[in-house]
Amino acid sequence: MADNQEQQGLVYTNRNSLMNRLYPLVKLAWVFVIAIGLFIYKSPISGAVMFVSVLLLAMLAGKIPFRQILGSSKIILMLGILLMVFHFFADPGEPLLKLGPLTITDNGLYQGPIFFFRLSVVVLASFVLIWTTDTRDLMVSLTKVGVPYRGAFAVFLALRFLPLIQREVDAVRAAHSIRGKSTSSGLGHRFKLWQRYIFTILINGLRKAETTATSLECRAFGLYPTRTYVKDIHFNPWDLVLIVVTVVLSTGLIIIEKVI
């Protein structure tokens, strides 16, 4: 069934933007800096500021169309809202409104948005990293900071196997449904079918893995502790500006929270 060539997940595109040109590790560090900030903020306003700044960065420095951002973030925004609503009710505080057995508290109303922004900004920043970074470059940059190249390659290989696995998942799902209706609908039977489904994908995947491993060794993978990179990437100290600005912004927000 080779006609099917769908692509799933987030796709890296080179739009020749500022974000595209940044050193991959810098972008990775940037996501972590953003994330750390969001776990410290005590005010929803800090989260909102970060939300807007990541959004602006994605659109202006990353040249990512707003429609694409919205398309990919739909689900996460929805989950963020659910989490926010959950906190409205769950967090202890002065009751504001009673809805049957549930109570909305003032503290909940304040806490809710914090977690909305924590979730959505962490995910959005991760999306920006993926949209603007070639995974190959990220892998190469990891080896530059001491990650052994065989280890970094494991990440890369996982990515390389992804489309094969997705094809396999589709094929197995189709094949199983064609075997006709299930012989039982009990929970034990479902567990068995689920196990079977995974098993088929695993056996085929592992068999491929062992062949791939042999073939990689024949292509001198791991022969020397290092290797050449034809498409090398170079670190430009100016790239660190992104980190500096983000750290300043984030600590600024934390200080303002303390002061007010």
Partner 1 sequence: MAEKKSGWNFNYTTRDIVIIAVIAAITGVVNTGVGNLWYLANTSLGPLGGALLQGAFMWAYILAMWLIRKPGAALIVGIIEAVTEILLGNAAGIGTLGWGLTQGLAIEAVMAISNYQKFDMLTAILAGAAASQFGTLWTSIFYGWDPAYSKDVWMAVPINLISGAILSGLLGYLLAKAISRTGLIRSAGR
Partner 2 sequence: METNTPFIKATDVFYTHWNQDEPTLKGVSLEISPNTINVLVGPGGSGKSTLCSLFNGEIPHLLGGKFEGTVLVDGKDTHIEPVKNLSQQVGHMLQDPETMFATLYVEDEIAFGPENLLLETDEIIQRTEKLLEDIQLTPFRQNLVWNLSGGQIQKLGLAVILAMKPAMIVLDEPTANLDPHATRAVHELVLKLRDEGMTILLVTRELDDFILTAADQLIVLDDGKIMASGPVQSVLAEYGQDMLERLGIWLPETVEIGLKLRDSLKLNLPAIPISMTETLQVLADQNLLRGRITNCEPESSVAEITKKYPLISGRNLEFSYNNGFKALNDVSFDIFPGEMLAIVGRNGAGKSTLAKLMVGLQKPQQGKLTLFDHPASFWKVEALAEHIALVFQNPEHQFLTDTAYDEIAYSLMARGIVDPDEVRTQVEDWMQRLELSDFTKIHPFALSAGKKRRLGVATMLVCHPQVLLVDEPTYGQDKEMTQTLMQLMEQIRAQGVTVVMITHDMRLVQEFASRVLVMAEGKILYEGDPAQLFASEELLHAANLRPTLLQELLKEYQDRGGQVDCLIRNTDQFLEALTYTLNLEETNGG
Residues making contact with partner 1 (CB under 8 A): 8-10, 31-32, 35, 39, 72, 75-76, 79-80, 82-83, 85-87, 90-92, 111, 114-115, 118-119, 122-127, 129-130, 135, 150-151, 153-162, 164-166, 169, 195, 198-199, 201-203, 205-210, 212-214, 216-217, 221-222
Tell me if 50 sits within 8 A of 37, measured CB to CB.
Answer: yes
Q: Nearest approach, Cβ of 202 to partner 2 (angstroms)? A: 11
CA torsion, ordered 75, 79, 81, 84, to nearest 10 deg = -160
The residue with tokens 């056996």 is 203
In this chain, which of 130, 208, 240, 257 binds partner 2, going by CB under 8 A?
Answer: 208
Tell me if 34 sits within 8 A of 125, measured CB to CB.
Answer: yes
Pick 214 or 251: Cβ nearer partner 2: 214
Pick 21 or 74: Cβ nearer partner 1: 74
CB half-sphere exposure, 70, CA atoms < 13 A: 3
Instruction: Report how many residues bind partner 2 under the rule CB under 8 A.
Output: 55
* Residues of this chain, 106-135, that bind partner 2 according to CB under 8 A: 135
Q: Nearest approach, Cβ of 91 to partner 1 (angstroms)? A: 7
Q: Considering CB distances under 5 to 8 angstroms, the limit depending on partner class, which of partner 2, partner 1, none binds residue 61?
A: none
Burial degree of 231 (CB within 10 A; 0-12, 13-18, 19+): exposed
Q: Which of 79, 85, 76 is nearest to 112 (CA)?
A: 85
Q: Considering CB distances under 5 to 8 angstroms, the limit depending on partner class, which of partner 2, partner 1, none binds residue 251?
A: none
Q: Considering CB distances under 5 to 8 angstroms, the limit depending on partner class, which of partner 1, partner 2, none binds residue 244?
A: none
Q: Considering CB distances under 5 to 8 angstroms, the limit depending on partner class, which of partner 2, partner 1, none binds residue 219?
A: partner 2
**What gap in Å lies between CA 16 and CA 10, rounded to an integer?**
18
| Core vs surface per residue 165-204: b (16+ CB within 10 A) or e | eeebeeebeeeeeeeeeeeeeeeeeeeeeeeeeeebbeee
Q: Considering CB distances under 5 to 8 angstroms, the limit depending on partner class, which of partner 2, partner 1, none binds residue 175?
A: partner 2
State whether the Cα torsion 154-159-161-166 is positive or negative.
Answer: positive
* Residues of this chain, 143-182, that bind partner 2 according to CB under 8 A: 153, 156-157, 159-160, 163-164, 168, 171-172, 174-182
The residue with tokens 């707003």 is 66
Q: Nearest approach, Cβ of 29 to partner 2 (angstroms)? A: 23
Pick 94 or 217: Cβ nearer partner 2: 217
**What gap in Å lies between CA 226 and CA 236, rounded to an integer?**
23
Q: Which residues lie near partner 2 (CB under 8 A)?
A: 1-7, 135-136, 153, 156-157, 159-160, 163-164, 168, 171-172, 174-183, 193, 196, 200, 203-204, 208, 211-212, 214-224, 226-232
